[in-house]
Structure 1
Amino acid sequence: MEKDFMNEKRRQVLQVLSEMPTRILSLHGRENMAELVLHDLSHENCFNLKKAAYFVDNPDFNCLKGVAGISTPEIPKNLWVDVWSQDEMFSSYMRNSVFNKRVREFAQCSLKTDKIIGSQEVRLLSNNLGIENPEYFSLNLKHGNNGLFIFERHSDDHKQLNEHLSHGASLLGFCPIF
């Protein structure tokens, strides 16, 4: 039974991930593209994340900047639909999201020293955002930038899908940064 559940979950995740590049291209240039991607990655039909935050670290300019954040307990039920076709309503909600605002207002000196973003720095950042059990991926982005994807799971049920989560998080690198 558990194996059947994981196979179905893997199928759902791969379907979401395979559709995402087309969705990103369909709304090319939207300011909040990263928020839409985070929504899909956090959805219960994908990785079922409690909170997720995306940052870009630019060592050349010594800057770490928050791009987008999503806290699934904050999101009203009517926004757990296809946000790609209702992007204006979702965008309006996200402009007022407390967690998203906290992430987007975050700016500090670069964490990328010696080519490593350390778990101690991530823990401090997570504590400031109210992420209680943080996990993270560091992503190599274009132009020498680095992505930082910090997340908290609702449960450990989907840890076997970590490889897919890192691939999904890398799609954030295709989102414009405003």
Structure 2
Amino acid sequence: MEALEALLNRVSVARLDEPAPTPAQRELLFRAALRAPDHGQLRPWRFLTVEGAAREQLGELFARAQLTRDPDAPAAVIDKARAMPLRAPLLVVAIACIKAHPKVPESEQLLAAGSAVHGLLLAAHAQGIGAIWRTGELSYDATVHAGLHLADNERIIGFVYLGTPPAELRKPQPLEPADFVTTWSSEFGADVQG
């Protein structure tokens, strides 16, 4: 697939079936992720893969996190949390690894890690792999962080679900660049001192 075609037509795929991406496909996914823009070359990211029975274990962790947050949560809410990792044959937990640096603030490192996830999503689309990037309250949950053994400087920036799309991918609704892009001129702001 051409690069521009992937950029212009990538869509999230919520329903994902077996099989999971092959080892060769995964290699390309992560190689693409590692090409993200990265001020200072800090590589402020890492990834955990979760598949097979580990998805059920992650579901138990999600259920425990939900119960820790709300001991009176209805059974349906707990069951939903438990089933989340089963929505795809492969999950990638995307983690930002924030490093102290005098010239690269935390915000730039988070952007770099997010760009790495975007690269992974584009590589998935280019290979015909369905993918969706999900966050939600479990991404920020202390019980989940502890269960995944995150360090104090690490944050989950999302769960990427990967698998085979059950049907032909939908076409994205075209957006008009003119709705989002304007030309700046000093007339919009304060006078420029010369």
Taking structure 1 as the reference length, what is the TM-score of the superposition? Answer: 0.28
Structure with bigger gyration radius:
2
Taking structure 2 as the reference length, what is the TM-score of the superposition? Answer: 0.26
Between 1 and 2, higher relative CO (CA 8 Å, sep ≥ 6) is seen in 2
- Larger fraction in strand: 1
